Amino acid sequence: MPYAIDEAMATALVTLYPRLVQRSPEPVKVALQRLLDEEHARRGVPDATGALNPLALTQGTLLKEEFDLSTHAHHAGWTLGALIADVKGMIHVNARHGFPAGDAMLRAVVESLRAQFPGAKLIRLHGDNFAVLLVPTSGLSVTEALREPTRSRLSADARAALPAGAEAPDFTLALLELTIEQPTHWQVLGPLVWGELERAYTLERMGNAGGLQQRRLQLGGFVPGRSES
């Protein structure tokens, strides 16, 4: 039996996304669809490229299993590697070949990264920016030696998805090794990892990375035991 939305609820829904719905003839329907899309993203439903939305990392349970399976086995800290790949000049690809070709190329980028790093978690940080998380259970680690082979294969796979004769795109690649000491709960990992991914990419884009970036965060969140009287 369908559920009727009263006027108060409809107003509340529209208020959530004022810019999104302002020109729509069906603002309530648009707002409901956005809520549904965001919930799917949190639960780890891949987007059109095949990658995961950042909400799966920051608000979802993407790293819960990693915490449960690997945290207590890493006494020196919970460590993961990350490779961030950003397509250079995506706006020119869309302008020259059309958005359908650009979308196909992004899907090829995701497929290429997944093939190169099986078992990793793949996040779409931004429209043409992807992060591969080499989580502990993947058995993979990040090194500077990954940079050029990854770039070369990405360019070849992306070019293969474009029309014949198209120029191969280049990529900005950032490499990060992140260690978090004493994480108290899996819910703290996602937002911390997201912030460090953004930081690592920004430093690489500005030319201040200096190769593989290594970061160690000390949380120190354990409560000391009560002293006995």
State in Å, rounded, how far the first CA of the chain is from the last one: 63
Answer for the pair 168, 158: CB distance below 8 angstroms, yes or no: yes
Type of residue found at 109: V
Sign of the C-alpha dihedral computed for residues 187, 195, 213 and 53 taken in this order: positive
Q: Which pLDDT band holds residue 209 (cuts at 50, 70, 90)?
A: confident
Q: State what percent of residues in the chain have pLDDT above 90.
A: 61
> How does pLDDT run across 25-77, given as a tens digit for each residue?
888 888 888 888 889 989 999 999 999 999 999 999 999 888 877 655 556 67
Across all residues in the chain, what is the average pLDDT? Answer: 89
> How does pLDDT run across 103-146, given as a tens digit for each residue?
999 999 999 999 999 999 999 999 999 999 999 889 999 999 99
- Residue 225: the pLDDT is 56
Residue 18 or 193, more confident: 193
- Residue 23: the pLDDT is 84
Tokens of 4: 């009727």
Query: What is the Cα–Cα distance from 149 to 124, expressed in whole angstroms?
Result: 21
Q: Within its chain, how far is the Cα of 132 from the centroid?
A: 7
pLDDT, mean of residues 13-26: 85
Q: Is the pLDDT of residue 229 over 50?
A: no
Q: Which pLDDT band holds residue 228 (cuts at 50, 70, 90)?
A: very low
Q: State what percent of residues in the chain have pLDDT above 70.
A: 91
Longest CA–CA separation in the chain, Å:
79
pLDDT, mean of residues 161-171: 92
- Residue 9: the pLDDT is 86
SS3 call for 223: coil
Place of tokens 């490499």: 175
SS3 call for 78: strand
pLDDT, mean of residues 1-5: 67
